[in-house]
Amino acid sequence: MKNTHKKQLNPRNYDAMSKDEIVSFLIEEQTRNNELETKLAAMQEMFKKVMDQHYGKKSEKTKALKDQLSLIFDEVEVTSSTDEELESELDDEKVVVTKKKQGRKKISESNANLEVVEIVHPMDELIEAGYENIGEKTLEKYRYQPAKIWIDRHIYPVYQKELEDGCTDVKSLYEGHTFLKGSGASESLVASVINDKYAKSLPLYRIEQSFKDLKADISRQTMSNWLMLASRSYLTPLYERMKHQLLQCDILHADETTVKVINHQDGSDNQKSYMWLYRSGVTQPNILIYEYQPGRGQRYPKEFLEDFKGYLHSDGYEVYKNLDGTTQVGCLAHGRRKIVESLKSVIGETEGKRIGSTILKSINHIFSEDKKLSSLECADRKTKRDETLKPLFDALKNQLSDANLKVLPSSMLGKAIQYNLNQFESFQRVLLDGRLELTNNRAERGIKPFVIGRKNWMFSNTTRGAKESGIMYSIVQSAKENGLRVEPYLIHIFESMSQKTAYDPTYLDSLLPHSKSLPDHLYIKSKPSR
């Protein structure tokens, strides 16, 4: 069959081929066609995946989202009410006599935390003219007071007295700067900048512009210096106490994401550095710790978790596995995500799509059954999970093993199935303790504010700046997770700590975001019970 492919170019040569040569030729061509079809299917999957990543919905929910409203030009038009609803909303004048209140809720009822200023418009002359007051009409409107920045000039008179011994005694209340010594920044202004940058993800150049709009000339460099000094002087001691308390927990969640650093000061020259996140479990105080590191190797979580003993929720990244004293718990949401992404890439109704859909349905069933157990105490939840989830896990593993024999390994679905099989043992570890979760979503939610901020400021200028940013993200995001109003909370700790020259652990613990001794007015709603 030396010249088989030459004969292919001229079908008339088939007459000169033997029966065995023709059969061999056809088998070879069929094999070649199968290989080409496999490559074509893989390319179509990849193309569809890229198109979905750029233009498709980002939700992992199996039901299609009704609307995709984020970052769209006509958001105001899309999200506004219909003309009929708008007319109804604008017609909010209600006559209050003795009848039961009707119609839409007043805006004051939907915003119980807002102050309500009552402005009465009486017509006393009508009472004098013989009219009777039979009720009232009310009109409620939101009011907004724009931000304001000004300079407080503190004047301290200096007093002098000649003493009998001939000495001069000079007295004044002046003590110099107590907050950020040598700086003209107040606690409230630094708290506002930190809140804007680390809670609202605004880059410093936009904050600088907002100050200019208020006729204040405060440069980015000046604000950057304030933040670095505030972090080192006040937030770092709190950060270290939070880290210490976090490592006393026995359930943690971990994740990591990239951060670009321009000027490395630690001897590294990595194009990609990383911000690592470690946070407490759902049944424990809300503590989030962000830690900058120049790399993504196992040495970094190993060093951070050196004193930790317990369960570690994470994705399938290998560095989280086989750490001394930890039991890694996998994220079933990642397994489901792989299946969902593979199904999006399948074109048409195929056997692979049917297999993938069946697996996805089984995973969703596990989530659904576990959700029914969320109200149970931890010990009871573990018992019920053994009864309900363990059989479902066993069935899912059988489905995955069977599908692994039928689906092309190089396809996206084949890779998704293999991923789930590789991680399956870690998925099942959720059955070991009723406090554990099926997913690592807590860590993913925790890392998201940093990812959003990164899209705005794009990089850190220095290694030192990246480390200080990790500290400020830790304080701010922990405050948000504990229901605190970020700016008032920061002002509270700045005002308190600037009056002291040393901080003992008990004092620092009283200022942590999850402390039960914080004043009630710092909370958005009410102080959490735990």
On whether both 271 and 282 belong to a single domain, the answer is yes
pLDDT digits (tens, 9 = 90+) for 248-286: 999 999 999 999 887 776 667 777 899 999 999 999 999
On whether both 385 and 338 belong to a single domain, the answer is yes
On whether both 197 and 294 belong to a single domain, the answer is yes
Q: Output phi, psi for 440, to 5 deg.
A: -105, 30
pLDDT digits (tens, 9 = 90+) for 162-194: 998 889 999 999 887 789 887 889 999 999 999
On whether both 336 and 412 belong to a single domain, the answer is yes
Assess if residue 353 is contained within a domain.
yes
Q: Which residues of 134-169 are buried (b: 16+ CB within 10 A; e: fewer)?
A: eeeeeeeeeeeeeeeeeeeeeeeeeeeeeeeeeeee
> Three-class SS of residue 326?
strand
Q: Which helix (H) or strand (E) holds 381?
A: helix 378-406
Type of residue numbered 359: I
On whether both 196 and 342 belong to a single domain, the answer is no
> Which range among 35-39, 66-70, 400-404, 525-529 shows the weakest confidence by mean pLDDT?
66-70
CA 202-519-107 angle, to 5 degrees, is: 65
- 404-410 long-range CB contacts below 8 Å, 24 or more apart? 406/351, 406/355, 407/352, 407/355, 408/38, 408/41, 408/352, 410/38, 410/42
On whether both 396 and 514 belong to a single domain, the answer is no
Q: Exposed, middle or buried: residue 367 (CB in 10 Å: 0-12, 13-18, 19+)?
A: middle
| pLDDT at site 67 | 41
Helices (H) and strands (E) in the chain, counts: 19, 11
| pLDDT at site 330 | 97
On whether both 305 and 356 belong to a single domain, the answer is no
Assess if residue 98 is contained within a domain.
no
Reported residue count of the chain is: 530
Distances (CA, A) of 207 to 187, 195, 203, 347: 17, 11, 7, 47
Domain count for the chain: 2
| pLDDT at site 92 | 45
Domain that holds residue 422: 332-432
Pairing mode of beta strands 288-293, 460-462: unpaired
Q: How confident is the model at residue 487 (pLDDT cuts 50, 70, 90)?
A: very high
Report yes or no: 311 and 327 within 8 Å, Cβ to Cβ. yes
**At a CB cut-off of 8 Å and minimum separation 6, what does 382 contact?**
431, 432, 433, 434
Place of tokens 């120049």: 294
On whether both 325 and 471 belong to a single domain, the answer is yes
Helix orientation angle between 204-213 and 220-230, rounded to the nearest 10 degrees: 120
Q: Exposed, middle or buried: residue 271 (CB in 10 Å: 0-12, 13-18, 19+)?
A: exposed
Assess if residue 192 is contained within a domain.
yes
| pLDDT at site 28 | 78
The predicted model gives 218-232 an average pLDDT of 93
Report yes or no: 343 and 353 within 8 Å, Cβ to Cβ. yes
Give the closest residue to 480 by CA, choosing from 194, 254, 224, 257: 194
On whether both 322 and 288 belong to a single domain, the answer is yes
pLDDT digits (tens, 9 = 90+) for 55-81: 666 555 555 433 433 333 344 444 444
> Which range among 110-119, 306-315, 321-330, 361-370 shows the weakest confidence by mean pLDDT?
110-119
Assess if residue 150 is contained within a domain.
no
Assess if residue 280 is contained within a domain.
yes
Assess if residue 387 is contained within a domain.
yes
Assess if residue 451 is contained within a domain.
no
Mean pLDDT of the chain: 85
On whether both 321 and 204 belong to a single domain, the answer is yes
| pLDDT at site 478 | 97
> Three-class SS of residue 290?
strand
On whether both 426 and 463 belong to a single domain, the answer is no
Assess if residue 524 is contained within a domain.
yes
On whether both 353 and 387 belong to a single domain, the answer is yes
